[in-house]
Amino acid sequence: MSTTAREAHLTIDPAFRVAPVRRRTFGTFVEHLGRCVYTGIYEPGHPSADEDGFRRDVLDLTRELGVSTVRYPGGNFVSGYRWEDGVGPRERRPRRLDLAWHSTETNEVGVDEFVAWCRKAGVEPMMAVNLGTRGIAEAVDLLEYCNHPSGTALSDRRIANGAKQPHDIRMWCLGNEMDGFWQTGHKTAREYGRLAAETARAMRMVDPDLELVACGSSGSSMPTFGAWEAEVLEHTYDVVDLVSCHAYYEEKDGDLGSFLACSTDMEYFIRSVVATADHVGARLKSRKRIDISFDEWNIWYLSRHQAAEPPRDWPVAPPLLEDHYHLADAVALGGLIITLVRNSDRVTAASLAQLVNVIAPIMTEPGGRAWRQTTFHPFAQASRYASGEVLRVEPVSPSYETAEYGEVPLLHAVATRADDGGVTVFAVNRSTDGPLSLEIDARALGGVRVTGATTLTDADVYARNTADQPDRVAPRANPHVEQDPLRVLLPPVSWNVIHLG
């Protein structure tokens, strides 16, 4: 790569529509893991805590992040979870061992508190049921407790516990990562497919309009990838609406170039699952279409977690998976967001895992401050500015060679067009040693100008935000804009938002 600006180009035409922008793309995830719940969203006695013990500073940051849905309560945690433990008077709730994360769960927060928190945050709850150590009856019981108005033992129990109105949770995950050997109650595809299908049928007897998600693969590198989806969907195709994908990425052995191109793998993952789902639909002669819920995705330095010594005791809310993100992490995450939005015709829901402290865009100190990690900003800007229709753009740019993905373009981009006609371009420059001069052909939009441009970058690609320097890495106005032709200079290793109007 040279140190001078290379040239890149993309064309925007409002006729090239992909799909509506899906608000559920901007979902996140709250699991009973580490400090995500306790000293994350919930900390009675904190200076900012409200009357229910929820941290107002975290609520404010959740709203600023632009979260649409929150998946709960897991994750690996859900495969050993007894939902009944987390309802009713707190003083009567049992403490349990959490096998997934070798912790003690106090059950101070359960489904009623979680839904109450969602209402305060203005987000839609998304619930997972335990298909690891439990099954059909317990899933139906939880659904009845949450959604039935009144007049039954479980719905009246919810009312007695203070939730007079039904929670009306519409989206339900049928277990979590059941293909993984690490999962409590791990199953074969046939075992899980049968159980998920029967659970879905029973849940639909209670409420036929639920949106149900079957477990797909825990990653594209799983040995059963593809075969798992095919077998599971053979059993569940007619009774579920979506199949899940999970993917995490990290920089390995200093290979920054491959890391910045990790969205290449996400693209492959999506295409492969779509092809498999459509093949099963064709085999079953079904006109129904199965979409994707990419309900775990993020930058996660999993190798550090795997190398760590397992705890010898069973602590309450220990600090686990608290990755501190730098600029390059934020740019890689921006590329993943672009890929999700580009595939909005089939990816109709997604959950950044997780929301607070645990591989999260928001960090907190127990009893102290909360701040935005670098990864907060691409997510927040995409959620704020992506609206209306996704437009298909096929950037033309120089490429570079990566060890992991072969030849990859320097520019990764997508555009959206709002109802008022304004267009926003989201773009990542993957170059590590030079800017990229992006020319935008917007003639089909008719006389538009660049009305604003921001960039997330830093001279140090490993710069981080901290409680003492919470804004070290944050979006800044990009001064390098030309109007005729429309041209914006994208700094090396940068996330960029460009507004046209």
- Active site amino acids: 177, 296
Q: Directed axis angle between helix 56-65 and helix 376-385, to 10°?
A: 60
Tokens 């804009």 map to which residue? 481
Phi, psi of 477 (to 5 degrees): -60, 135
Q: Which strands form 6-11's sheet, in the order they lie side by side?
A: 6-11, 436-441, 486-490, 481-483
**Please, which residues bridge with residue 412 across strands?**
428
Please tell me whether the peptide bond between 354 and the residue prior to it is cis, using omega within 30 degrees of 0: yes
Q: Amino acid letter at 115?
A: V
User: 60: helix, coil or strand?
Assistant: helix
Residue 64: enclosing H or E segment and its boundaries? helix 56-65
User: 268: helix, coil or strand?
Assistant: helix
Tokens of 18: 């992909």
Centroid of chain to Cα 168: 22
User: 351: helix, coil or strand?
Assistant: strand
d(C-alpha 234, C-alpha 356), whole Å: 36
Pairing of strands 411-417, 389-391: antiparallel
Are 461 and 256 in contact, with CB atoms under 8 Å apart? yes
Query: In sequence order, what DSSP letters do the residues of 221-238 get, joined into one string?
Result: TSTTTTHHHHHHHHHHTT
d(C-alpha 298, C-alpha 40), whole Å: 18
Instruction: Give Cβ neighbours of residue 62 (< 8 Å, ≥ 6 apart).
Output: 41, 121, 123, 355, 362
